[in-house]
Amino acid sequence: MKEKREDNCVFCRIVRGELPATVVFEDEATLAFMDIGSVNPGHMLVAAKPHVANLQGMEAELAGAMFRSAARAAKAIEAVFRPAGISVYQANGAAAGQTVFHAHIHVLPRW
């Protein structure tokens, strides 16, 4: 059976605990951690635990789990950072601005 992971994928390595990350929470399908290149304080990423490159690669259940975790991240950011607003974005493909080709959602506080 083909494993849903990639040995050299940076987010797979974070999911496996091989690379350090400031993990905020996790559930069965997702891992939320702070973006190392944060645009603003509190910038969080929600990554899929299985290796999928983009939104098109997600089954419905994983897509739902991702957005559920994005909502949880937004609530945590709201409580801690009290931003004026929160942006959620998710890039699919280099042309869309994706640089890490393991699906993730940005949850970004705004002032």
Active site (catalytic) residues: 104
Q: Which region among 1-9, 31-39, 56-64, 75-83 touches ligand AMP (by CB under 6 A)?
A: 31-39
Examine residue 35 and tell whether it contacts ligand AMP (CB under 6 A): yes
Name which of ligand AMP, Zn ion, none residue 12 binds, using a CB cut-off of 5 to 8 Å depending on partner kind.
Zn ion
| C-beta separation of 66 from 89 below 8 A | no
The two tokens of residue 16 are: 């496996």
Is residue 10 a contact point for ligand AMP (CB under 6 A)?
yes
Q: Which among Zn ion, ligand AMP, none contacts residue 35 (Cβ within 5 to 8 A by kind)?
A: ligand AMP
Taking Cα atoms as reference points, which of 69, 20, 74 lies closest to residue 47? 69
Give the integer Cα–Cα distance in Å for 21 and 17.
Answer: 8
Between 10 and 63, name the residue whose CB sits nearer to ligand AMP.
Answer: 10
- Nearest distance in Å: CB 58, ligand AMP: 15
Is the dihedral angle over the CA atoms 39, 52, 22, 44 positive or is it negative?
positive
91 makes contact, choosing from Zn ion, ligand AMP, none, with CB < 5 to 8 Å by partner type, with ligand AMP
Report the distance separating Cα 82 and Cα 85, nearest Å: 8
